[in-house]
Amino acid sequence: MIELEGLTKRFGSKVAVDDLSFTVRPGVVTGFLGPNGAGKSTTMRMMLDLDNPTSGSVRIDGKHYRELQEPLKYIGALLDAKAMHGGRTAYHNLLCLAQANRIPASRVAEVLDTVGLTAVAKKKTKGFSLGMGQRLGIASALLGDPEILMFDEPVNGLDPEGIHWIRNLMKQLAAEGRTIFVSSHLMSEMALTADHLIVIGQGRLLADTSMADFIHQNSRSYVRLRSPQQERLRDVLHQSGLTPVEAGNGTLEIDGATTEQVGELAAEHRIVLHELSSQRASLEEAFMQMTASAVEYHAHSAPGHGPQWAPRDKGA
Ligand SMILES: Nc1ncnc2c1ncn2[C@@H]1O[C@H](COP(=O)(O)OP(=O)(O)OP(=O)(O)O)[C@@H](O)[C@H]1O
């Protein structure tokens, strides 16, 4: 478990991380979502004691990182895949790390196998592709067989096969009861991977919610329709207590209605429909709106029926 309490980081006048408090729990993949520059990497670096907080604290299983006896056995991280020694082979990079952290050398072959790099174990890492580098970075995170794993944007630059592999690995590690914390700036990626979601914007906590609740609250569903008899259709809909909204190109949208309900109403009043469909707003849209409205106070006009969200109170 990872617990953040009022975590704050300032770089001069810039507040990169602003009073963040949340808990990352075991057994699930927790997604850490925020647009570029939101403060995800800075937060993760403070979790690993690579940056000092201006104020606040991070506890790993109740302890500060510095108090962990052999940190790699508690927490493994993929922050920067290029942080390996390019002149060394994949095997030797991992062996050095194992020896420095009192991890048995036999573990090196195991993790190389887990990440699918056994065939290139004796190759120098400077020739590695981005995907191979990511796999090696993940192997180093797994080396100490830690209960907690953190991945900063692990799918960046990977091909579809690599992305699929990383997603499955994270789910498998969570299913083993481990704590998995993974950052991304893409809602679509999080929707496929994460069970729980922490959203930040300009360093501040915007949401701390289960993925299922986020989808439920933010996937606005509505009915879209077009008709050559739009005026009459509008009247009929209004009379039935529905509120159609003009959506351009002769299209109407109605929240809180079903296609069955609207189709039957139209049939009853002998109104021709050219389109009748059920729509769902994308989660990416919901995320963009959430971060935009939280970080920018200048007047972005809020669309009539945009996604809903509520910032949580601070604290666990
Ligand atoms: N060492 C530093 N000195 C000054 N400003 C910094 C430093 N590190 C980060 N920042 C600033 O802090 C803010 C948060 O950066 P951070 O890299 O943590 O965001 P991020 O969410 O990880 O973004 P990205 O997805 O682009 O990596 C940014 O405005 C960044 O410019």
Distance CA 111, CA 139 (A): 5
Mean pLDDT of the region 259-276:
96
- Residue 293 C-alpha to ligand 1 middle, in angstroms? 20
CATH superfamily of 220-290: YebC, transcriptional regulation domain (3.30.70.980)
CB distance 273 to 263 below 8 Å: yes
Q: How many residues does the chain have?
A: 316
ipTM: 0.95
Ligand 1 pocket member 202 (CB < 6 A): no
What is the average pLDDT score of the chain?
Answer: 88
| pLDDT higher than threshold 90 for residue 260 | yes
Mean pLDDT of the region 20-39:
95
Ligand 1 pocket member 16 (CB < 6 A): yes
Closest CA to 72 of 100, 91, 40: 100
| pLDDT higher than threshold 80 for residue 82 | no
Angle formed at CA 39 by CA 55 and CA 20, multiple of 5 degrees: 45
- Residue 158 C-alpha to ligand 1 middle, in angstroms? 22
| pLDDT higher than threshold 50 for residue 86 | yes
Mean pLDDT of the region 238-263:
93
Q: Residue with the nearest Cα to atom 28 of ligand 1? A: 37
Distance CA 34, CA 104 (A): 37
Q: Please give the residue that has the higher pLDDT: either 312 or 281.
A: 281
Q: Residue with the nearest Cα to atom 6 of ligand 1? A: 11
What residue ranges do the domains of the chain occupy? Answer: 2-217, 220-290
Task: Give residue 292's pLDDT.
Answer: 77
Give 198-254 as a DSSP string: EEEETTEEEEEEEHHHHHHHH--EEEEEE-TTHHHHHHHHHHTT--EEE-STTEEEE
**What would the pLDDT profile of 119-157 be if each residue is shown by its tens digit?**
999 998 888 888 888 899 999 999 999 999 999 999 887
Distance CA 62, CA 42 (A): 21
Residues 6+ apart with CB under 8 A from 93: 84, 85, 125, 136, 140
| pLDDT higher than threshold 50 for residue 171 | yes
Per-residue pLDDT band for 293 (boundaries 50, 70, 90) equals low
Own/partner contacts of 240-243, CB < 8 Å, gap of 24 or more, are 240/265
- Which CATH architecture best describes the domain 2-217? 3-Layer(aba) Sandwich (3.40)
Q: Residue with the nearest Cα to atom 26 of ligand 1? A: 36
Task: Give residue 290's pLDDT.
Answer: 78
